């Protein structure tokens, strides 16, 4: 039983900010894919026909497909966050209406958690409190079910990010190292398991303001060119020193690199713009084809690209950075697993308390 059944005690404003940040990230990924397609078409029109052009064909398809997948998943996450905020706000309005029925009944709040205690003067007041309490519990149960459904959508978005990680990292770097998109996918999985779960009935929904937006602090570092992300430093925890790592990991995973002026370009000279028509890879599976007049990329001397090596090389510094990144990601993933297990245990204990309060037998009474 929550301290106050009529108060969710959650702040939905950070969810709105997080939703906007994920949506802007999706727009940036889409814009980057469009720029790459236009640039490659322009170079093809200048007569780039060689073995390196064919090699770049497959690479370009993987990069664009990965960008499309990330954009689509980011938009879905944005929609889910907005839906969570709307669901919480709607449920709180319903609870407010139910509270108005019993607000006049003598009551007091006790302790630091503000436990609500009624002091009814008559049987009529006791009946009002009991009916309003049952209605509040029903509203919270509906909210539990809604949040559980939204968590399923977040898990599906995580699957899409994971697919992009597997395809983009393996295809563009030739390495089994998991970083960039994979790291973002792990963050989405973590915030799905840790913060979007059943439990509003016992008041655990109060952590929403620091939960669903957990991954949004990583969005600013992932964007190229003119994108300016909102300041989200107060919305999540554990971001110190990680933003840059994820930014570099995502770019590397997609075969891109960030220039000093903030623009993003292909990571290797041999993978300069140059391709035929349409968009392939994962994007093509959705029927995505981008048109338009080429507006970017400089001319390429015929045969020049073919003389360059298409095999990525790794310097000692890059290897050390990669190993450090992998170690940090493994440590973070282990910590998230521990947090997820702790959250699951807390949820089970809360369910047992509710079951005992109603006089039933808890689901773990016979197993634990």
Dist. CA 53–CA 55, nearest whole Å: 5
Q: What letters, b where the CB count within 10 A reaches 16 and e where it falls short, cover 240-279?
A: eebbebbbbbbbbbbbbebeeeeebbbbbebbbbbbeeeb
Per-residue pLDDT at 100 = 92
Q: Sorting pLDDT into bands at 50, 70 and 90, what band is 316?
A: confident
Residue 213 has pLDDT above 50, yes or no: no
Pick from 188, 192, 168, 189: which is nearest to 178 by CA?
A: 168
Residue 220 has pLDDT above 60, yes or no: no
**C-beta of residue 16 within 8 angstroms of C-beta of residue 85:** yes
Dump pLDDT digits (tens) for 113-133.
888 899 989 999 999 999 999
Q: Which H or E run includes 108?
A: strand 107-110
Per-residue pLDDT at 332 = 76
Instruction: Output DSSP code: residue 218.
Output: G
The residue-averaged pLDDT of 159-165 equals 77
Dist. CA 141–CA 147, nearest whole Å: 10
Residue 266 has pLDDT above 70, yes or no: no
Instruction: Output DSSP code: residue 258.
Output: E
- 360: Cβ contacts below 8 Å, ≥ 6 apart: none
Dump pLDDT digits (tens) for 25-74.
899 989 988 998 888 887 777 777 777 777 777 777 878 888 888 899 88
**C-beta of residue 88 within 8 angstroms of C-beta of residue 61:** no
Per-residue pLDDT at 320 = 77
Per-residue pLDDT at 10 = 87
pTM above 0.75, yes or no: no
Dump pLDDT digits (tens) for 190-212.
544 444 443 344 443 433 333 33
Taking 3-state DSSP, the helix, strand and coil percentages for the chain, each rounded to the nearest 5, stand at 65, 5, 35
Dig out the tokens for 258 from the structure.
């960030």
Average pLDDT of the chain to the nearest whole number: 66
Dump pLDDT digits (tens) for 322-361.
788 788 778 877 777 777 677 777 777 777 776 777 665 4
Pick from 42, 34, 38: which is nearest to 298 by CA?
A: 42
Per-residue pLDDT at 84 = 94
Of these ranges, 110-119, 225-234, 272-281, the one predicted with the greatest mean pLDDT is 110-119
Distances (CA, A) of 45 to 38, 40, 186, 314: 11, 9, 40, 32
């Amino acid at each position: 039983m929550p301290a106050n059944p009529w108060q969710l005690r959650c702040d939905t404003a950070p969810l709105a900010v997080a939703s906007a940040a994920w949506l802007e990230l999706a727009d940036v990924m889409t814009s980057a894919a469009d720029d790459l397609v236009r640039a490659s078409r322009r170079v093809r029109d200048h007569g780039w026909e060689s073995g390196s052009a064919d090699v770049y064909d497959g690479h370009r398809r993987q990069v664009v497909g990965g960008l499309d997948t990330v954009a689509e998943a980011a938009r879905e996450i944005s929609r889910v966050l907005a839906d969570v905020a709307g669901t919480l706000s709607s449920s709180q309005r319903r609870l407010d209406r139910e509270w108005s029925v019993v607000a006049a009944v003598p009551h007091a709040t006790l302790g630091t958690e503000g436990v609500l205690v009624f002091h009814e003067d008559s049987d009529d007041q006791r009946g009002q409190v009991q009916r309003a309490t049952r209605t509040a519990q029903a509203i919270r149960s509906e909210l539990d079910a809604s949040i559980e459904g939204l968590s399923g959508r977040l898990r599906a978005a995580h699957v899409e990010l994971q697919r992009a990680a597997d395809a983009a990292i393996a295809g563009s770097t030739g390495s089994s190292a998991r970083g960039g998109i994979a790291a973002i996918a792990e963050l989405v999985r973590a915030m799905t398991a840790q913060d979007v779960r059943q439990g509003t009935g016992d008041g655990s929904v109060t952590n929403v303001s620091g939960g669903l937006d957990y991954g949004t602090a990583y969005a600013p570092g992932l964007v190229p060119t003119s994108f300016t992300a909102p300041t989200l430093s107060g919305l999540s925890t554990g971001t110190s020193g990680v933003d840059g790592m994820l930014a570099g990991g995502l770019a590397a995973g997609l075969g891109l690199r960030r220039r000093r002026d903030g623009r993003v370009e292909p990571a290797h000279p041999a993978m300069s713009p140059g391709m035929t028509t349409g968009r392939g890879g994962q994007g093509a599976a959705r029927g995505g084809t981008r048109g338009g007049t080429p507006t970017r990329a400089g001319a390429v001397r015929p045969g020049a690209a073919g003389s360059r090596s298409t095999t990525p090389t790794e310097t000692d510094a890059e290897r050390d950075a990669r190993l450090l990144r992998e170690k940090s990601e493994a440590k973070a993933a282990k910590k998230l697993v521990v947090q997820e297990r702790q959250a699951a245990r807390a949820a089970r204990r809360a369910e047992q308390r509710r079951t005992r309060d109603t006089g039933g037998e808890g689901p773990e009474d016979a197993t634990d």
